């Protein structure tokens, strides 16, 4: 999606900033920026937060890049490291243990080397590239988007374009067009990236970008559950 924006004429109308999601959320909260692609769980901390695009980062079943990794089966897990990179994934795994797997565990803030500490009955949530790399290195891998789909029957939205103010409809339409344009560059991105996972499959099948009605239902349900 970002590449689509960079190569679309809309880039001449905006100031595009590529930063960590937590920093984008801070800037949006402080009105330093107008819109951010950010984890949906952070919406609760931003007054007036609303989704302003039909595009985001979602999955309808297995996503492969947001998983619980363990050396033992789920029923033997007693504690879980929570990946410091994703607030949404943290809240998702907490919900799954409470409402889907119905198991009490201790949650531990993960240090930078937490993957090396996933031993015995201590599991860990790993996201992103590191998650894809470790799919074959742990005997037990529980895909969080799959578990959410099993529990709710709905897709899961990890991130969305969020603003804290009304934006002009003309801008939103042009912004959506730029996001859609980004899909045509998947082959180019894959060709430029050496990685031990099928990135064409990941970008084309595992990740869903268009926030259709079912994805928005899943998002609304998730947000309602984390505000209970």
Tokens 């905006």 sit at which residue? 14
Domains 2-60+155-226 and 66-152 share a fold: yes
Out of 14-18, 75-79, 159-163, 195-199, least confident range? 14-18
- What is the token pair recorded at 115? 């993957």
pTM of the model: 0.91
Q: Can you tell me the distance from the alpha carbon of 52 to that of 50, in angstroms, rounded to the nearest whole number? A: 6
Can you give the residue ranges of every domain in the chain? 2-60+155-226, 66-152
Which CATH number, 2.60.40.10, 3.30.420.40, 3.40.190.10, 3.40.50.300, labels domain 2-60+155-226?
3.40.190.10
Query: Between these two residues, 19 and 176, which has the higher pLDDT value?
Result: 176
Which CATH number, 3.40.190.10, 3.40.50.720, 2.60.40.10, 1.10.150.120, labels domain 66-152?
3.40.190.10
A 10 A CB-CB count for 28 gives: 23
The reported pLDDT for the residue numbered 1 is: 55
pLDDT for 19 beyond 80: no
Out of 148-157, 183-192, 208-217, least confident range? 183-192
Query: Which H, E and C letters describe 19-74, residue by residue?
Result: CCHHHHHHHHHCCCCCEEEEEHHHHHHCCCCEEEEEEEEEECCCCCCEEEEECCCH
């Amino acid at each position: 999606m970002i590449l689509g924006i960079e190569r679309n004429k809309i880039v001449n109308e905006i100031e595009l900033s590529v930063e960590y999601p937590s920093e984008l959320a801070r800037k949006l909260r402080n009105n330093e920026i107008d819109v951010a692609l950010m984890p949906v769980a952070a919406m609760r901390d931003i007054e007036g937060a609303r989704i302003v695009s039909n595009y985001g980062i979602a999955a309808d079943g297995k996503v492969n890049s947001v998983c619980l990794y363990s050396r033992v089966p789920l029923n033997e897990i007693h504690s879980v490291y929570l990946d410091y990179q994703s607030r949404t994934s943290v809240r998702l795994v907490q919900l799954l243990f409470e409402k889907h797997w119905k198991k009490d565990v201790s949650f531990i803030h993960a240090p930078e080397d937490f993957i090396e500490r996933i031993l015995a009955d201590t599991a860990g949530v790993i996201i992103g590239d590191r998650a894809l790399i470790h799919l074959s290195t742990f005997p037990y891998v529980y895909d969080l988007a799959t578990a959410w789909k099993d529990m709710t029957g709905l897709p899961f939205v990890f991130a969305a374009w969020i603003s804290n103010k009304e934006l002009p409809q003309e801008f939103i339409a042009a912004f959506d067009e730029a996001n859609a344009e980004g899909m045509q560059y998947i082959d180019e991105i894959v060709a430029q990236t050496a990685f031990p996972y099928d990135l064409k499959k990941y970008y084309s099948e595992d990740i869903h970008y268009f926030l259709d009605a079912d994805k928005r239902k899943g998002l609304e349900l998730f947000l309602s559950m984390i505000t209970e």
